Amino acid sequence: VAAALGLPFADSDHEIEHASRMTVADLFEKYGETEFRALEQRVIARLIGEGARVLATGGGAFMNAETRLAIRQQALSVWLKADLDTLMGRVMKKQHRPLLKSDDPRAVMERLMAVRYPVYAEADITVLTRDDKRELIADEVMAAVEDHLRKEAGRRHG
């Protein structure tokens, strides 16, 4: 998506790791989720303030009301919505998911989805994803963004 838009790309988790010189998992372990979320909020606010870019955030970032407000005021939010099986297939490939360190990560994911999905639904755009290739998902995101911007322009001028 960033390449198609000619914009830089940033991943908030990578930026947090770079700024703290620690992994997300280590930050969670050493400081806890509350401190991690505070750092995450500061990093996302900085990234949004630095100008146009495509920003991938961690799953919990949008749960912070101040972060949502900053995104709403200064950016366009896109939720890549997926079902439980798709999410589990994605996250189980990664070892640094502190909230899923559990004997039953699927049950944890179901609980997270129940809490987070109503908040994620506040995103400007929702794109349903499956286990598709990234290029196909990127094309769907671009089409949804173009449609959203066209409708917004129509509202402002209509």
Q: What is the pLDDT of residues 17-43, one digit of tens each?
A: 999 999 998 998 999 989 999 999 999
pLDDT exceeds cutoff 90 at 139:
yes
Q: What per-residue confidence (pLDDT) applies to 92?
A: 78
User: What confidence score (pLDDT) does residue 99 get?
Assistant: 65
Give the separation between CA 31 and CA 120, rounded to whole angstroms. 26
Q: Which of the listed CATH numbers 2.60.120.330, 3.30.1450.10, 3.40.50.300, 1.10.579.10 matches domain 2-157?
A: 3.40.50.300
Given pLDDT bands bounded at 50, 70 and 90, which one contains residue 154? confident
Cβ neighbour number for residue 24 with a 10 Å cutoff: 20
Q: What is the Cα–Cα distance from 79 to 42, expressed in whole angstroms? A: 21
Q: Is 81 helix (H, G, I), strand (E, B) or coil?
A: strand
Q: Output the pTM of the full model.
A: 0.86
pLDDT, one tens digit per residue, over 54-112 is: 999 988 999 999 999 999 999 999 999 999 999 988 887 776 676 677 788 899 999 99
Closest of 40, 10, 42 to residue 27, by C-alpha: 40
